[in-house]
Structure 1
Amino acid sequence: MASATDSPLDASAVLVAHDDAADGGAAELDAGGGAAAPDAPSDEKRPGSPSKALRSNAILVLALRRRLKGLAPTLDHMVRFLSSGSGHDKFWMLTQYFTKIVVWALARGGQKSAAERVRTLSGLVADYRIMIRLTGLVPMAQAVRDGERLPAQSRALQWLDRVMNAALVCYYPLEHVYWLGAHRIVPVSDATVDRAGYWSCRFWAGWVALQFVRLGEERRLIAGRRRRILTRGDVDAATMQHELDALDAAARSWRSQLLINACYFPLTLHWSIRGSTFPDVAVGICGTVAAVAQACNVWRATA
């Protein structure tokens, strides 16, 4: 069944074709030597004629259809991005941190009322992101299981992953206690809520610090693989190039992870220290850079 959006184009196209056929028929009569029809007012003499308006509408609808057809792959990609758990979170993460920069800019411009409204939005988004992490232990358990089943690239990485997973296993429940207590869902004291919030961030900061160690080990492994590929003499040029391309992709991923971790490090320290003076706009800048880098990774993964 044709949709309503098809109807205007189809009707216009039929009318345009009818007008063109009528013009062509008159031309054939003239060419055949028949009696010439009396001159009728042309469209040029009637600028507001329905025929010309219908032609214009048909052209406009065709142009819009072509434009929307060109946007379809991008829209499909965006749906895949936002439908993924990671893409959904990174969209809101970018909103949460970029609005902190907007708040700073509005406050400097003297627009205090607008700054407060945007600050409220930032706080709501931050609260929402904590809420959707209430199920974070489920994928965490899956990651721990898979990490033990799959062989690690090195023994050092295997033990690093175990310690980092242990840090996250401590982080998630403490954050859950903080959020549930702050919203008076579970009966805990304000002091307990405060301690749970700080200690959850300290375990997260420990994870980020260990991630630097892990990235150092990964860099050593990538460099070793590159040396082995370049010194092998039993492979053809095409195979070697394929392996080097895969290694280059791993190196790009490594640089992205380093940037993300470097942005998270000051944030986790700031949230772990009582009375930290780290400015909120700096939190916004670090968080925005980390969000953009992670969103780009998810965008490529959902292509």
Structure 2
Amino acid sequence: MSSKSASKPLSSPTYLLSRLTKLTSTYSGLDASLMLVQYSSPLIITLLLQLAALNSKIRDRYRHVNGNKNAKFGLVQLAEGWGKMGGSIGEARVIFRAFGLLPILTWLLSLHPQPVQSLQNLLLSLHRRGLTAFHSPKTLPTLQALSLLLYYPLEHLTWLSSKGVIPLSGRRAAKAGLWSVRFWALYVLLDIYKLRQTYLSLLKRTHLLQHSKPPVSEDEAEGYELPSSSSTISTVAQASVPPSSVPAIKTEKATEAQAQAQVLRKEWAVWKNDVMINAYVLLLN
């Protein structure tokens, strides 16, 4: 029953169109869609060139037999066109990222509502505790936000210089582009470290959930007896829960364990998706 309900939406064009519309109607979804086309361009171009080489061998053999010298196949031209399209999409993404600083600033201000005071506290902590001052849950997202805050202006400066909007020498433009790539690489490295820490946390939580004490079953609760009246006050206080409430406690614990397992499954799925995206971007870059 569940498989039928799961396969039905995938076979519905209306459902697929609504999902695609929802995906491309947001900035992040549109950028992800364009990124998929841009980063898949090298693979498609390689495939087209290999097909063109194979077709060239077959065509040469065909010409040798029949003397036909006018046979043409536009795979090379198609590969060139696809490369130009990928470059145009890359420039479009740069233009879209012109407003990328706004959410980064919002992110940074959400981490540090008072930036000047936060900077003063950081310098004071560094003076007192040294590098241990960076052992804060805000350190990693702050470094990521700062790396993007430096990456975006340098990328835009390089692109505007290539279009002649900003008069910048070739050497300075190349240096700005190099540093923009370095700050982007820093963000990626921090993201990889974040994924590693998330993996260790999820692994620990999964291990604890798997080895947690199972709840009391109803069969085990049937023979439950209260201690005699001669027991100490502490023992009576510990046994104050009536036997009839044991199944309810068991059900509550089972429900809590199921909820924790469901949350863990969702977080594992998000982690795997982030790993695949980072691996794909690193592979193509």
TM range (shorter): 0.5 to 0.7
- Whether the aligned pair in 1 keeps the contact of 2:155 and 2:176 (CA below 8 Å) is yes
Counterpart among 235, 242, 246 of residue 259 in structure 2: 242
Matched, 1:116 2:80: yes
Matched, 1:97 2:61: no
- Whether the aligned pair in 1 keeps the contact of 2:39 and 2:281 (CA below 8 Å) is no
Counterpart among 204, 229, 252 of residue 224 in structure 1: 204
State the Cα distance separating 1:148 from its structure 2 match.
Answer: 4.0
Q: Distance in 2 between matches of 1:218 and 1:91?
A: 26
Matched, 1:74 2:54: no
1:134 corresponds to: 98
2:230 corresponds to: none
RMSD over aligned Cα, in angstroms?
2.5
Matched, 1:88 2:30: yes
- Whether the aligned pair in 2 keeps the contact of 1:205 and 1:265 (CA below 8 Å) is no
Counterpart among 251, 260, 285 of residue 277 in structure 2: 260
- Whether the aligned pair in 1 keeps the contact of 2:48 and 2:79 (CA below 8 Å) is yes
CA separation of 1:226/1:71 partners in 2, compared to 1, >3 Å: closer, same or farther?
A: same
Show structure 1 runs of 5+ residues with no match.
Answer: 1-69, 267-282, 287-303
- Whether the aligned pair in 1 keeps the contact of 2:23 and 2:29 (CA below 8 Å) is yes
1:32 corresponds to: none
Q: Distance in 2 between matches of 1:224 and 1:117?
A: 50
- Whether the aligned pair in 2 keeps the contact of 1:171 and 1:203 (CA below 8 Å) is yes
Q: Distance in 2 between matches of 1:265 and 1:98?
A: 13
TM-score of the two chains, using structure 2 as the length reference? 0.62
For 1:96, the aligned partner's letter is Q
Q: Deviations over 1:131-174 (max 9, x none)?
A: 1111110011112223347xxxx955421111121111111111
Q: Deviations over 1:83-138 (max 9, x none)?
A: 01111111111111222222222223143322221111111111111111111100
For 1:99, the aligned partner's letter is S
3-state DSSP of counterpart to 1:187: coil
For 1:125, the aligned partner's letter is I
Show structure 2 runs of 5+ residues with no match.
Answer: 1-11, 54-74, 114-133, 216-248
Identity, % of aligned positions: 25
For 2:89, the aligned partner's letter is V
For 2:258, the aligned partner's letter is Q
CA separation of 1:259/1:76 partners in 2, compared to 1, >3 Å: closer, same or farther?
A: closer
Q: Distance in 2 between matches of 1:227 and 1:119?
A: 47
State the Cα distance separating 1:226 from its structure 2 match.
Answer: 3.2
For 2:254, the aligned partner's letter is A
State the Cα distance separating 1:195 from its structure 2 match.
Answer: 1.2
Counterpart among 110, 113, 122 of residue 146 in structure 1: 110
State the Cα distance separating 1:178 from its structure 2 match.
Answer: 0.7
- Whether the aligned pair in 2 keeps the contact of 1:208 and 1:264 (CA below 8 Å) is no
Number of residue pairs aligned between Structure 1 and Structure 2? 196
- Whether the aligned pair in 1 keeps the contact of 2:155 and 2:180 (CA below 8 Å) is yes
For 1:204, the aligned partner's letter is W
* 1:1-303 equivalent positions in 2, closer than 5 A: 70-108=12-50, 109-110=52-53, 111-148=75-112, 156-229=136-209, 231=212, 235-266=252-283, 283=284
Say which structure, 1 or 2, has more relative contact order (CA 8 Å, 6+ apart): 1
State the Cα distance separating 1:76 from its structure 2 match.
Answer: 1.9
Q: Distance in 2 between matches of 1:222 and 1:145?
A: 28
